[in-house]
Structure 1
Amino acid sequence: MTAHASSAVLVGRDADLAALRDALKRARSAEPAAALVGGEAGVGKTRLVEEFARLAAADGARVLTGQCLELGEEGLPFAPFAAALRELLRADGPEAFGGQERHFARLLPELGPADAADVHRGHLFDLTAGLFQRLAERRPLVLLVEDLHWADRSTRDLIGFLVRSARMPRVLLLATYRTDELHRGHPLRPFLAELDRVRGVERRELDRLDRDGTAEMVGHLLGAEPEPRVVDTIHERAQGNPFFVEELVAGDPDGCGDIPQTLRDLLLSHVDRLPEEAQRVLRVAAVGGSRFGHELLVRVAGVPEPELEGALRAAVAAQLVVADPDGGYEFRHALVREAVHSDLLPGEHARLHGRYAAAIEAEPDLVPMGRAPAEVAHHWHAAHDRPRALTAARRAAAAAAERYAYAEQFGLLERVLELWEQVPDAAELLGVGHVDLLEETALAAIEAGDHQRALRLTRVALADLDAAAEPLRAARLLVRRAKLLRNAAKSDGVAEAREAYRLLSGAPRSAEQVALLADVAATIAAADPDGGGRIAQEAMAGAAVLGDVALEVTATITFSLVCDDRIPAQEALERTRAAADRARAAGNLPSLAHALVNVSDLLFSLGRYAESAEAAAEGLPHAHRVGVSRTTGVFLLANRAEALMALGRWDEADALCAEAARFDPPGTLALPWLRLRARLRLERGAEGADALLARGAAFLARPYVRPEDWLTQTELQILAGRLPAEAALANPAALAVRPRYAWPLLAVAAAGAADPATRQALGAVAAATPHRYPAEHAWAAQVAAALGDAGPDAWRAAVAAWRADGQVHPLAAALVSLAESCAAHGDRPGAAAALQEAAELAGGLAAAPLLDRAATLGRRLGLRPRAAADELLTAREREVLRLVAEGHSNGRIAERLFISPKTASVHVSRIIAKLEVANRVEAAAVARRLGLLADGS
């Protein structure tokens, strides 16, 4: 029998292939669709997706493919996307990029010089999504990303954006990864867990073949029916791994040859059958990676080209290497390359990596454009040439920063720091001092989101610095440390800020000195509002003397912020709006985005919720443009979400919270979206509140908690029943300094307090807490009604106050309380009227707990208050109801909507309760009668 190199038939993957075709079908219908295919090395992931891609192309879809590089976290950012775009360029030419070639040149240098403008990578992500959407308008697009376990941070970020934010119709994103590479600390683990929660993402892990599958595969490989003994032997030794099966059959058709048991030995035994020259060339090629160019191999191998071609021909004939369309080569299995590379002798390993590094340094065009810095850094490091590794890593870090690949930049700079101690003349080679490098690495760590590492690096830099000789640098590092400490909730940072102020006071006036004074003012104000205000005024005066508009804007914003609770909000708003106008006129986008955070916040305080939402929306594109999406951008998203929540636009607010979560803001910067989304979940009785509450509660146990954070998190914990009402009294200092956040806490505590002593204490605190703005007046009226014994009139006053303010949910809740009070005092008509209005408002919000409370009172009074049925149901519940009306079971509904059967059951139960029907059949009938099924089903 003759053994063939590989099976032409896909074996044992019918269900997996069908699942991928279903995913493409959903994408064709403009539903969210992404598929993640995992499995151990050699299990057949690539074979499966190749077959799927063939069928998809035959069915009219376009397929673009990219592969992650095994350089991993230090590798070329966005490598698979660059490969996919290169494929597009080769097929369609530059016209395919719709006039955006200068932007896409950051990913694909072949397109020419990149746009010199400072374009934030968020804009690059949007452009990439837009390109794929345009391609998909003509025909469905399959974007295939292979070997996700090797993906760099930037590639993961872009994939996450495309899946979670872009929601591209008619595009299926398909990615493969090795499960046996995912050690406990592997960065792909949390990334996959996040994607699992996104609607439309399907994750499949390929199992090994069973004995029947092995038999079928061996039959195809041999071209004849195999004997049972041969199948048993091969199946036992390969353990159902298709690649192992192929290798065993290729080595010995009977599967009984003297082949080592371990994978490494198995792969190397296959390599050992090559001629000696081919083995040597294969060892050289393995050092270059899974893919290698012909010209680069010629430079490194050091053999005449005819001999090199003969060696490669032997490797190709043995199916160890395949030629690719770009004129290079690729190992047929990455495991072959890994095995060959690991078999190198130590000296051989270092020597060959050094030769690769030198060749690429001399001729960067030997590798795809843009890859040279990362490749050179990788090879010099592997060659153990510390001086060259040091300088190459620094250059690669700079190249990564230009592509907004901050995580890669940080990793490379960490390597530079590691090598610094090992290279005697490191400072001369790099042209920077050790403190410079520490500061640069700390900034990269902040951009990459590793604030803990940034904190440690800043501490070391301060220890190495002579503050007397460099007061400005010392002050800058102290301010940065203060911010990091506050964000990590480790301390208030005031001690560091005071020392920074001491240093700045003796330094000559300059733009940096004034900017740092503004930062110092913001930090000190947390403990000393008067002192912070004075320093902010000092910063404003210094900026005026310098005539620096940007600095004046920053200092004015800081002054308004630190004096937030000591000057009227209208006055602060006028100052901050004037600062925003100046920033807008000067084109100072960072200051404008920062100012709009404060503008939207002040408008919210004044009860001008629609204007607050608009101001935050204006700031968002500016924040993205200048690269502060994870800081200023998250605050803008939270401010807009909070204003929309007040207006009753809860679905929009929830989407904004989800967007903020995707930016993964570090430390306490996550608290704004966390508290808003937790509140939404609680007020809607939706799943997921517990996890959000637990994350928020964790901050309460940290050494330092800002007053507003303590107030809002404690409020949520009491609202959820996790803390008793008296917990609201545990931090009187916080209650005294932040009335805006103190009043909601007092209201929640007053509603739940039964103990007379607690109620009395709450009343005393409420009497001492100022109420200046519409919402604070309403909260004060609500607290007075909850703690008093005055009957319906007190609740009527609270309802009137909430009407004046305009927040929807608090008004609905006050109306239910008014109805309860009316019922208790025998005013049935008053109770009915209040209950009806409350039900209509709560139904529009899908506020299930409040609706249940209203329904309970209605049943007790013999009333049937209900909102319009289409308002009672959330968007997801309408989706579920549509499927119920089509006759689907809970299990099938779960499959269609990518939720668990338990969640589907909960949705169905809520629908039946809200529509006040007895069963699914009646629910479907009501839905049809009321026209809830827009498609007429």
Structure 2
Amino acid sequence: MSYPHGILDGVTTRARNTAFVGRDAEIAGLREALKRVRTDEPAMVLVGGEAGVGKTRLIEEFRRHGGGARFLTGQCLELGEEGLPYAPFAGILRELVRAEGVAVLDGHEAEFARLLPELGAVSHDADRGVLFDRVATLLTRLAADRPLVVVLEDLHWADRSTRDLIEFLVRGARTARVLMICTYRTDELHRGHPLRAFVAELDRARGVERLDLGRLDRDGTAEILASIFGGEPAQRSIDKVHMRAQGNPFFVEELAASGDPMACADIPESLRDLLLARVDRLPESAQPVLRIAAAGGNRIGHDLLATVAGLPETALDTALRAAVAAQLLVADSDGGYEFRHALVREAVHDDLLPGEHARLHARYAAAIEADPTLVAAGRAPAETAHHWYAAHDHPRALVTSRAAAVAAGERYAHAEQARLLERVLDLWEQIPDAGERLGLDHLTLLEETMVATYTAGDFKRSLSLNRAALAAVDQSVEPLRAARLLTRRGKLLGSLGKSDGTHELREAVVLAETATDDAARAQLLADIAYQISRIDRAEGARIASLARAAAESLGDVAAAVNATLTLGRVCSRLVAGEIGLAELREAEERARSIGDVEQLVHAQVNISDALFEVGDYAGSAKTAAAGTRDAAKVGVDRSSGAFLRSNHAEALVALGRWDEAEAICAESARFDPPGHLGLHWLQIRANLRLARGDASAPEVIGRALAFLRRPYVSAQHRLPLLVLQVEAALSVGDAAAAASAAHGGLSASDLIGNPRYTWPLLAVSARAAVAADDAGLRSSIEALAAELECLYPADRAYAAQTHASFAAAPPGSAVAGARAAGSAVEVPGGSLGAGSAAPGGSLGAGSTALGWARWVRVRPRQVARWVRVRPWQRRAPQAPRAWGRRLAPRRDLVSLGPRCQASAAHRRRQPPRGGVGRPRLRRGGPTASPTRSLARWWRSPRRWPRWATGRPRARRSKRPARWRPTSTPGRCVTRWPGWPAGSGCAGPWEPGPTCSPPASARCCGWWRWGTATAGSPPSSTYRRKRSACTSPASSPSSRSRIGSKRQQSPTGSGCSAPT
């Protein structure tokens, strides 16, 4: 299913809203009233709300789920000051006679003829009391078999007789098993309206309730638009429609029917006539005042309105009182007035004559310039600029718009700043001496606007302005400015998916390195280093080192912080997570100490990502949440805030808090991040909905995979999308499509350099290879896994998952083993990777370790530690059952749903050892539990019954726990990149050669290694050692398995461990 990006584009026909949105509490209240009626207790509900808010739709939805009740509906009519007598009851009676004949009146046609003249002559002896009694008797008789719901709509138009009859039925007759629902418009009730007193009287009667329907929130507006157009609209379209309609469902539908994608078109004529009809009913003296107020905006202070109107106080008060009584204006507690609805103000303002429009706005601008206190604090520059521009005074509008843009930037109101600077650009061509008036050149204005639009999230417009600025700059005269523009262009091209920006960034490096050494150059080098590190980590580290050295020599702390962030980001993968985190923490503290919130947010983005990578998911979530709050302070919600929210959601998924992650994704959708900034959260949401078997999963997956059609997608975005593509194919049982997608993904050239994102692709591709029985795909996976670095806990978990798939050891046996052991295991419905599981069923064979870990809320490194499928186990016929034995008991050691929440109390954190703390599960807890007993049972193999092992019980090995002999060739336990061919450590085990690092290898002291030969354990097992570190470290693994190679730092990378 394709994603309707421009959902309102080209729509010219009126569409019907089929969604019932945001009224769950009101429906519940009506159902509760009907429940009381079924117990012979009379009830009445008064439903109030403004026109178009959805009163009739509420009744229709209640009727559709009425539970067998009978519904009769009557309508009040607008016929002058007093409506038609008994109009709603006459409509109900006519409906009954038409359906059941006059027999339903039980021979009282003469009395009912006062309501329906066609029944015959009116009885002259019957007074009004008899008629009321006959109506009550009729309703009671109709409710004898089943509950009766009487709906009286538009009670604000009811006449005195109708109101008297309603009061008699509520207070006097007390008809049992009858629910009466009356609707009325609150915006029609002026101060002297008779319904005000009537409703107040009824409200005191027993059994009478009031429901006030409010306007919908933004989510409600989005649901209505999605229902009308068959898909989720663009977020900015939702914002525009909601801002104008202000949550009124009728206005939302009318604006959607206008067909404008950004909801900026004129109000539809039918809606405009409807809005202005109420204005025309005002006294002649009040209409000009309302037009003056409309020119001032949605809200206007009394003093400002009085200054612009220039009327005597008595005349102004009389006019305003009439507008307030007509529910067009609302007086607020701050001494001002606000239009009850924004569309009313818009309609009145658009109805102004051209000369009247210009004069009013000029008077507002002059009044605010003379006394800025007439508007809210800080709003004077923007208000003055708006009114001079609306008055068509372009010279004044130019100067004031520029000043307002500067003030908006100081308040971090980047969207407003960008809009004002765009206005300045438009006015520049119309004013010959614009540069002299503003004191800057056109190129500087272009660059300011480019930065503002980028920060506001309008990447496409920013790229257009960048192109114009590059065409105007002279690289030989201003190399630093040209380099800055090229750096921005490279970043924009990558963010929009047009290219990787390599050409622009490398050209910027050449220009920046030849420029004069100053603070601007140091800051620019730091920016270039951060961008180019996405493409070439070593080059990014080199440039960052230059930037930090230059910044430190100049005393530019901000540039030094930026460079340190880049070094931390690069070193977290090139050396070790602990070293990279140390650099990032240092940058965070320095940014905090100088009060640079933007750099602080930048640091929090990278720290949350690095913590996730090393397996500290709780720390990642905490850092990302704090960073999101800081991002809101400086107005970067749509840029850095987008990264932080997606990092937060990713960590919550890893912690098993899926509902919270879904809420974070929904928040990200509301901000509508531009370009590739909106991809990460979308990919997370797609994975969540796929795993849960959500009905909306195909649409969300389609929207995410649409990014693959762009010319360029970075590896950190493209590889997770390929994982999603293979998972989606496996979830529907299309093994051929999954294998085809896996083949395409594994053909990329940047897999080796991105192990964090390649390992998940290998794991899911392994499942696809097994499902499709594709030997070629399997050999490709094994070859790539042999070369791929396995540095962090998640990498090792995915490596174990890849092993498990090829070993044909499905975790479904874990469920069987746990159930056989008497453990309460519930498999949630939905998709677990490629395998699907029905509630209470077993997992599919395609599901593997990491998918199982997601369900049991366990960290990947714990899976890597618990599930060690060694070669002798893979070759044994009991391998699947052994896999089940290893995972099943751990299934209950972690929290999964309400039934396992108690076991979460037994998780304890040990103090960190060395750099980053690594939480581990510890035994014990405040009380004994079946979970604890099961854990002890699992740790005691001698207690395992024969049915649980599938083979005779054997004595435990005396050999070291981390090594087992094997009679078949295996891989060397240490693999050092860059070793010369024939060194003895590149092929199978052979007696004699040792596996020790070459003389040129360097170690930073984190690990110590021995040698290993075939047929014997390593001469010394590896161990942690704390010592000074002066060069990058090598960290080969001590076990023979896929992913055993550790990352090495290339010589001259610029990364160094802290001493």
Which TM-score band (shorter chain)? 0.5 to 0.7
Matches within 5 A, 1:319-330: none
1:513 is matched with which residue?
A: 521
Amino acid at match of 2:756: R
**1:47 paired to 2:187:** yes
> 1:46 deviation in Å?
6.1
Structure 1 contact 812–841 (Cα < 8 Å) conserved: no
In structure 2, the CA distance between the partners of 1:45 and 1:744, relative to structure 1 (3 Å rule), is farther
**1:733 paired to 2:759:** no
Q: Give the distance between the partners of 2:638 and 2:189, measured in 1 at CA.
A: 35
In structure 2, the CA distance between the partners of 1:354 and 1:714, relative to structure 1 (3 Å rule), is same
Deviates most, 301-310 or 509-518: 301-310
> 1:719 deviation in Å?
0.7
In structure 2, the CA distance between the partners of 1:186 and 1:36, relative to structure 1 (3 Å rule), is farther
> 1:698 deviation in Å?
1.8
Amino acid at match of 1:726: S
- Which residue of 752, 759, 765 maps to 1:749? 765
- Which residue of 773, 780, 786 maps to 1:767? 786
> 1:639 deviation in Å?
3.4
What SS is found at the alignment partner of 1:562? helix
> 1:675 deviation in Å?
2.6
Structure 2 contact 527–562 (Cα < 8 Å) conserved: no
**1:560 paired to 2:568:** yes
CA deviations over 1:557-592 (Å, ceiling 9, x no partner): 212323554334343334334444444555554444
Amino acid at match of 1:761: S
What SS is found at the alignment partner of 1:734? coil
Q: Give the distance between the partners of 2:252 and 2:613, measured in 1 at CA.
A: 57
Amino acid at match of 2:859: Q
Deviates most, 328-337 or 698-707: 328-337
Q: Give the distance between the partners of 1:662 and 1:338, measured in 2 at CA.
A: 25
Matches within 5 A, 1:89-488: 189-191=237-239, 204-205=249-250, 274=284, 287-288=295-296, 296=304, 299-300=307-308, 342=350, 344-367=352-375, 370-488=378-496
Matches within 5 A, 1:451-850: 451-616=459-624, 619-721=627-729, 723-730=737-744, 731-753=747-769, 754-787=773-806, 807=859, 811=863, 825=877, 830=882, 833=885, 836-837=888-889, 840=892, 844=896
What SS is found at the alignment partner of 2:500? coil
CA deviations over 1:167-206 (Å, ceiling 9, x no partner): xxxxxx9xx99x99xxx999875249999xxxxx998549
CA deviations over 1:484-518 (Å, ceiling 9, x no partner): 22111111112221222222122221222112112
What SS is found at the alignment partner of 1:735? coil
Give aligned-pair identity as a percent: 47
Amino acid at match of 1:539: A
> 1:293 deviation in Å?
5.9
In structure 2, the CA distance between the partners of 1:341 and 1:835, relative to structure 1 (3 Å rule), is closer
Q: Give the distance between the partners of 1:760 and 1:617, measured in 2 at CA.
A: 42
> 1:717 deviation in Å?
1.0
In structure 2, the CA distance between the partners of 1:582 and 1:46, relative to structure 1 (3 Å rule), is same
Question: When you count helix as a share of all residues, which structure comes out higher?
Answer: 1
Q: Give the distance between the partners of 1:787 and 1:764, measured in 2 at CA.
A: 13
CA deviations over 1:603-640 (Å, ceiling 9, x no partner): 43334444444554554544444444443344344334
> 1:281 deviation in Å?
6.5
* Aligned residue pair count: 659
Q: Give the distance between the partners of 1:616 and 1:721, measured in 2 at CA.
A: 32
CA deviations over 1:186-240 (Å, ceiling 9, x no partner): 9875249999xxxxx99854999xxxxxxxxxxxxxxxxxxxxxxxxxxxxxxxx
Structure 2 contact 803–869 (Cα < 8 Å) conserved: no
Q: Give the distance between the partners of 1:411 and 1:781, measured in 2 at CA.
A: 53
In structure 2, the CA distance between the partners of 1:439 and 1:845, relative to structure 1 (3 Å rule), is farther
Deviates most, 365-374 or 480-489: 365-374
Structure 1 contact 775–802 (Cα < 8 Å) conserved: no
1:82 is matched with which residue?
A: none
Q: Give the distance between the partners of 1:608 and 1:478, measured in 2 at CA.
A: 37
What SS is found at the alignment partner of 2:507? helix
Q: Give the distance between the partners of 1:465 and 1:579, measured in 2 at CA.
A: 33
Scaled by the length of structure 2, the TM-score of the pair is 0.52
Structure 1 contact 486–493 (Cα < 8 Å) conserved: yes
What SS is found at the alignment partner of 1:515? helix
Structure 2 contact 866–886 (Cα < 8 Å) conserved: no
Q: Give the distance between the partners of 1:290 and 1:772, measured in 2 at CA.
A: 58
Q: Give the distance between the partners of 1:645 and 1:324, measured in 2 at CA.
A: 45
In structure 2, the CA distance between the partners of 1:845 and 1:521, relative to structure 1 (3 Å rule), is farther
* Structure 2: 5+ residue stretches without partners: 1-19, 32-47, 55-77, 79-153, 155-183, 202-210, 254-269, 731-736, 818-847, 900-929, 932-1059
Amino acid at match of 2:803: A
* Structure 1: 5+ residue stretches without partners: 1-14, 27-34, 60-141, 149-158, 165-172, 196-200, 209-240, 245-261, 848-866, 869-937
> 1:545 deviation in Å?
1.8
What SS is found at the alignment partner of 1:736? coil
> 1:718 deviation in Å?
0.4
Q: Give the distance between the partners of 2:629 and 2:810, measured in 1 at CA.
A: 50
Q: Give the distance between the partners of 2:312 and 2:501, measured in 1 at CA.
A: 65
Q: Give the distance between the partners of 1:578 and 1:738, measured in 2 at CA.
A: 25
Structure 2 contact 800–867 (Cα < 8 Å) conserved: no
CA deviations over 1:339-373 (Å, ceiling 9, x no partner): 66555543343234323322332233445555543
In structure 2, the CA distance between the partners of 1:330 and 1:806, relative to structure 1 (3 Å rule), is closer
Q: Give the distance between the partners of 1:566 and 1:638, measured in 2 at CA.
A: 24
Scaled by the length of structure 1, the TM-score of the pair is 0.58
Q: Give the distance between the partners of 2:493 and 2:710, measured in 1 at CA.
A: 11
In structure 2, the CA distance between the partners of 1:410 and 1:836, relative to structure 1 (3 Å rule), is same
Structure 1 contact 650–845 (Cα < 8 Å) conserved: no
2:1039 is matched with which residue?
A: none
CA deviations over 1:252-310 (Å, ceiling 9, x no partner): xxxxxxxxxx6699678767x847xx776676565445766665556545677788788
What SS is found at the alignment partner of 2:477? coil
In structure 2, the CA distance between the partners of 1:810 and 1:823, relative to structure 1 (3 Å rule), is farther
Structure 1 contact 808–841 (Cα < 8 Å) conserved: no
> 1:806 deviation in Å?
5.8
